[in-house]
Structure 1
Amino acid sequence: TVARAGDVRFAGLSAAEHPLLTASVPLADDDGVLLTGRLSVQSHPWLADHNVKGTVLLPGTGLLELALRAGDEVGCDVVEELTLAAPLVLPAEGGVQVQVKVGAPDGAGHRNVGVFGRLDDAADEVWVRHAGGVLSTRAEGTAPAQWSDWSVWPPEGVEPVSIEGAYDTFAEAGFGYGPVFQGLRAMWRRGQGEELFAEVVLPEQAHDDAARFGLHPALLDASLHAGLVEGADDDTVVPFAWNQVSLHAAGATAVRVRLTRVGAEGLSLTMADMTGRPVLSVGSMLSRPVSAEQLESGVRTAERPYAIEWATLPHAANPDV
């Protein structure tokens, strides 16, 4: 068999068949797995539609999608937890190499997962850990979540919430969402806002990609925008920690969403497609404000304006010291 350019099998790898990941390989010294890929605004132009305080970065939903895909690779259908460690900033030119490392299972079947990145030309630099967490397997026969009766839509006892001008308001708060991320189409609240409901749709240009994702990161990100509409303050907040996440159906392009407040900073989420079939459940998602300084740190890493140079020091007065 003649090796073909771009065929990862001839590098001893398997094709990951995912828009953000190219290859996977089982690790030789344990029961772990490594998945690899490369991200850039040139190869993934829709990522440029996620701009926070003037900085393009992979959304937290993208980091979650990487963990879900890694779990699928090893037979784990639950992301028990995933915590953001550092923003993954995308440079204007060039790309970021990505590794998703899954560890061997412990006695209870849990596996550690980590998402790492470094610039294309940064072979002399350490990998940055962008997220870390734990994967697991849902007990056989366990119900995925307590689903609402999606056959009645909008749900009974809700009042509509205007989303007119919402994306202009988001921009004022630091979120520069482009067309692929502007998916919020309708919204309702129940009670004093403890429960929120929304319809979210991916634009047609993202449908081909959606068929290859577990859940397109832009669709999940836009599902959280209802929480921004009803946000309590003007901070620029981003997903910080995910808990008890299960994907129940892949490839959705339009969804119905139910958000429930969890404490002051968290949301639980259930999602179904437009026929009422379960798509995703999230036990809780915690958000945190992101500062310009944190993003600037990521930009410095992405643009690498600093380099190490050797300088010749003057001779010491006493050469024997």
Structure 2
Amino acid sequence: MQLADSTTHATVFTGTLNQRTHPWLSDHTVTGITVLPATAYVDLALHAGHHTNHPRLTELEMHKPLVIPEQATLQLQVMTAPLPDSDDLRVTVHVRQESDAPWVLHATGTLSAAVPAAEADLTAWPPADARPIAPADVYTELVARGNEYGPAFQGLTAAWRDGDDLYAEIELDPDTDVTGYGIHPALLDAALHTLGIDTSPSDANEPQLPALWRDISLYATGATTLRVHLGRSGPGSARVLLADAVGQPVAKIESVALRPVETAQLAASDTSTHNRLFAVEWTATALASDGGTDAGDHQAWTILTAGTPATALPESI
């Protein structure tokens, strides 16, 4: 097996990803392009940390969005390796589409063995003085910016604002299986949706995705509903507390920051020709000047290529 990173003393986790085996992926699109949610990288890194006795994800940075092809299967490698002069581990996530394609680095982070104590619970619910926010209004605004969510990701069922603090209730689509996940990416993604609409004016018309995470600790697995407290730490960033349906701690995220998505980069990444449909298109070609030559002697051949106009070649073949 070809390793994405040649680091010695590494632990390697491998897998595959496609829209057939993970149908919920098709419900996460940005400007019409299916993109792996950043929360999936969080779950992958936490999974690696759990199996290497480093369950705390102290940092995770997204480097490049991953476009999910409609038909092709992607290959994944999650690797952990010791950091120099530290008890922490470096974690990386690489992806490629074909077995002979180069690996592409999509995320890097750090794992630690020390997990802090759980924060105060969210049993007092909802906040007494908070002002309700309509979930439908949240999704209307997000769609207007290019963040488009299908049923698996439309988990926001209630939301409130209290000054700079945001609160939300999240429920995962009942058709989504949480088996094997520490915290399902669709559930965690929906927990941040109210944060996505509370951005600076300069970013008001741009889709945004989580890009930088700091200090994530997971206290419980298998959640399908969440209570969420987002404590504002700046435009497009927040400290996040997650609890279950009765207010007991599920996870803590010290900071998550959103960044505008470069839609041109997404479009450029969506260039796979695998299983692309082609159509026949006739192009007019001038006949030979002598007019009397048998048609079989002069044939116009057309080459069809992905992403470029069809080119007629009038040479005799």
TM category (shorter chain) comes to 0.7 to 0.9
Q: Which amino acid aligns with 1:210?
A: V
What corresponds to 1:199 in structure 2?
169
Unaligned runs of 5+ in 1: 1-10, 12-24, 307-321
CA contact (8 A) 1:211 1:250 kept: no
Distance 2:272 2:218 in 1: 32
Alignment of 1:160-171 (within 5 A): 160-171=132-143
Q: Which amino acid aligns with 2:80?
A: V
Distance 1:301 1:61 in 2: 24
CA contact (8 A) 1:86 1:298 kept: no
What corresponds to 1:213 in structure 2?
181
TM-score if structure 2 supplies the norm length? 0.80
Give per-residue Cα distances to partners, 1:49-106, cap 9 Å, x unaligned.
0011111111000011111111111011111111111111111111110000111354
What corresponds to 2:80 in structure 1?
102
Instruction: Establish whether residue 143 from structure 1 lines up as the match of residue 117 from structure 2.
Output: yes
Instruction: Establish whether residue 264 from structure 1 lines up as the match of residue 211 from structure 2.
Output: no
- Following TM superposition, by how much is the alpha carbon of 1:280 offset from its aligned partner in structure 2, in angstroms? 0.9
Give per-residue Cα distances to partners, 1:199-256, cap 9 Å, x unaligned.
00001101xx213210000000000011124334222111111110111100100010
Instruction: Establish whether residue 67 from structure 1 lines up as the match of residue 45 from structure 2.
Output: yes
Alignment of 1:222-301 (within 5 A): 222-232=190-200, 233-300=204-271
Instruction: Establish whether residue 43 from structure 1 lines up as the match of residue 36 from structure 2.
Output: no
Instruction: Establish whether residue 93 from structure 1 lines up as the match of residue 64 from structure 2.
Output: no
Question: Residue 204 of structure 1: SS of its match in structure 2?
Answer: coil
CA contact (8 A) 1:161 1:189 kept: yes
Unaligned runs of 5+ in 2: 277-305, 308-317
Q: Residues 163 and 231 (structure 1 numbering): CA distance in 2 closer, same or farther, change over 3 Å?
A: farther
Distance 1:175 1:152 in 2: 31
Q: Which amino acid aligns with 1:128?
A: V
What corresponds to 1:173 in structure 2?
145
TM-score if structure 1 supplies the norm length? 0.79
What corresponds to 1:154 in structure 2?
126
Identity of aligned residues (%): 36
CA contact (8 A) 1:32 1:102 kept: yes
- Following TM superposition, by how much is the alpha carbon of 1:176 offset from its aligned partner in structure 2, in angstroms? 1.7
Give the count of matched residue pairs: 272
CA contact (8 A) 2:199 2:235 kept: no
CA contact (8 A) 1:89 1:302 kept: no
Given the alignment, which residue of 126, 136, 144 partners 2:102?
126
Distance 2:74 2:273 in 1: 8
- Following TM superposition, by how much is the alpha carbon of 1:43 offset from its aligned partner in structure 2, in angstroms? 1.5
Distance 1:275 1:189 in 2: 20
- Following TM superposition, by how much is the alpha carbon of 1:299 offset from its aligned partner in structure 2, in angstroms? 1.2
Question: Residue 62 of structure 1: SS of its match in structure 2?
Answer: helix
Distance 2:68 2:84 in 1: 34
Higher-Rg structure is 2
Distance 1:179 1:301 in 2: 26
Q: Which amino acid aligns with 2:237?
A: G
Instruction: Establish whether residue 189 from structure 1 lines up as the match of residue 161 from structure 2.
Output: yes
CA contact (8 A) 2:69 2:272 kept: no
CA contact (8 A) 2:67 2:270 kept: yes
CA contact (8 A) 2:196 2:258 kept: no
Question: Residue 170 of structure 1: SS of its match in structure 2?
Answer: helix
Distance 2:270 2:48 in 1: 27
CA contact (8 A) 2:94 2:107 kept: yes
- Following TM superposition, by how much is the alpha carbon of 1:301 offset from its aligned partner in structure 2, in angstroms? 5.9
Distance 1:70 1:55 in 2: 28
Distance 1:253 1:38 in 2: 24
CA contact (8 A) 2:123 2:248 kept: no
Backbone CA RMSD of aligned residues: 2.3
CA contact (8 A) 2:240 2:255 kept: yes
